Amino acid sequence: MDDTSIEQFDAVIIGAGFSGLYMLHRLRSLGLRVHVLEAAADVGGTWWWNRYPGARCDIESFDYSYSFDPDLEQDWTWTERYATQPEILAYIGHVAERFDLRRDISFGTRMLEARWSDGTAQWSLTTDTGRRLRARYCVMAVGCLSRANRPRFDGMDEFTGRILHTGEWPHEGVDVTGLRVGVIGTGSSGIQSIPLLAQQAEQLTVFQRTPAFTLPAMNAPLDPDTVAAFKARYRAHREATRHSNGGVLTTLAEESVLTVDAEERDRRFEAAWGSGTLFGLLSSFSDLMIDPQANELAAQFVRDRIAEIVTDPVVAERLSPRSFPIGTKRLCLDTGYYATYNRPNVELVDLHAEPIDRFTATGIEVGGREIPLDVIVFATGFDAMTGALLAPDIIGRDGITLREKWSEGPRAYLGIATSGFPNLFTITGPGSPSVLTNMLVSIEQHVEWTAACIDWLEQHGARSIEATAEAENGWADHVTEVAGFTLYPTGNSWYLGANIEGKPRVFMPYIAGVEIFRTVCDDVAANDYRGFAISR
């Protein structure tokens, strides 16, 4: 292939979800030639792939949307407190139309390799459709939860029914009416889909390894008055969330739960339970995520609710998490999850008591008995935060791949850059607040910082920017140290990589929150990109 077949751009972005689309918009407005590569057939990222029944956001619609354009937020009207996947996808499609984004995106195109050349100070990219692209900047906007985790089980290939993954759900939908369905996994995807699958299926069997803590979403339609009132104060609200800790307006209470009496404790826990928010319960006292004894009080409060809702005490106990502090694995919001286990057509299998022996042609064998199944749903989550970054061959200076560089765990300065990989930006990468916050706020922060950085490089005639090893190591140590002040690292969560066999255990998200992180990032930029080496 000769050089004429190489498509030349200033920047190539990988991924057309919320972060890739906004990155495209920002870089295009700087006058750069930008192109996006997207494996899916349209925009949407995680919301394009995750179409399982009940898929819904657990951040409120008003907050889980772009804030960068005041007219956009006035024109779009959400219909529910927590938007469904189809509504979010429609919103993303609306944004793509409004800003004419699709013309710079190649869909159905997966980046296979990105290789840095010191000689040209450019990235050369190849795709699974045989294309070659070259660009000075490469932005990985691949999402934190986008590479499906598909555990292998003995006999899997013998199963003659259908195997599905919640994160790669068929677009035409799946009708399970009259079928025997098995769900493996009880994280957020399992918890959202199980109540709906149970309503349709003849028999539903849930295979649970670790029970999760989930709180009622209290979802409801949004009435026009609420929407109008919210829109009237939208700008002030956005400003406040941008400078908040979690990217939503929650205030961490000042008192320790250990200093109040049982009545006051229960009053606050009840209020949080009834509020239908992800952050309310854990913010209701100052020390729930710091002190094991304090945390246990909140955990027991939720276990007591489970025991009230689930009529069979054996099943209630099976559903009650006891192996990790509440909140250290991501909390879930649900609609009717625990009550689903009161249905006569639902069985809960505890995989600790009855491990999966094997799949058979007609079902799953656990503890020596076969459960006959027509459909098996893997709700087994993702190779979180690094999976999609390490899937392609990203080859930096001296031929080192990102996979090699991060073989003992990711190290990225401010979560956005890593030494040996100049002009490569990882939006909401490991070491940034990302999944511990409202993703939209964290995405906008990282995208805006990256756009400003690229603009600065262009203005200063710089060839490349690269995190120094010193800055990157200092930051990674800081991320670990801050997490160590909390209970978070004690849960076997995907925050730590614990859900993937052989993955290095590093606490990946930055726990200090969006506002502190924003201040640090802005300060780095204001000091001529302290911690970065810039070549001219």
Which residues here bind ligand NA7, judged by CB under 6 A?
145, 151, 166, 184-190, 209-210, 330, 351, 379-382, 494, 499
CB closest to ligand NA7, residue no: 187
Burial environment of residue 393 by CB neighbours within 10 A (0 to 12, 13 to 18, 19 or more): middle
Please give the C-alpha separations between residue 413 and each of 137, 284, 467, 500, 529, in angstroms, as whole numbers. Answer: 17, 32, 6, 24, 11
Q: Given the complex with ligand NA7, which of 143 and 396 has the nearer CB atom? A: 143
Nearest-approach distance from CB 20 to ligand NA7, in angstroms: 18
Q: Are 18 and 93 in contact (CB under 8 A)?
A: no
**Cβ-based neighbours of 163, under 8 Å, separated by 6 or more:** 156, 375, 376, 378
Comparison of 113 and 317: residue with beta carbon closer to ligand NA7: 317
CA-CA distance, 312 to 318, in Å (whole number)?
Answer: 10
Query: 260: how many CB neighbours lie within 10 A of its CB?
Result: 15
* 392/497 with CB nearer ligand NA7: 497
Nearer to ligand NA7, 381 or 415 (CB): 381
Distance of closest approach, residue 278 Cβ to ligand NA7, in angstroms: 9
Asked whether the beta carbons of 424 and 396 are under 8 A apart, the reply is yes
| Residue 40 CB, nearest approach to ligand NA7 (Å) | 17
Using DSSP's 3-state secondary structure scheme, residue 129 falls into coil
Could you tell me the smallest distance in angstroms from the CB atom of residue 104 to ligand NA7?
28
Least distance (Å) from ligand NA7 to the CB of residue 492? 7
**Minimum distance between the CB of residue 144 and ligand NA7, rounded to whole angstroms?**
8
Instruction: Check the CA dihedral 517-428-249-43 and report its sign.
Output: positive
44 or 422, CB closer to ligand NA7? Answer: 44
CB atoms inside a 10 Å sphere around CB 177: 8
Q: Could you tell me how far CA 230 lies from the centroid of its own chain? A: 26
Please, what is the minimum distance in Å from the beta carbon of residue 210 to ligand NA7? 3
Minimum CB distance to ligand NA7 smaller for 13 or for 379: 379
Judge whether 321 and 211 are in contact, CB under 8 Å.
yes
Nearer to ligand NA7, 123 or 359 (CB): 359
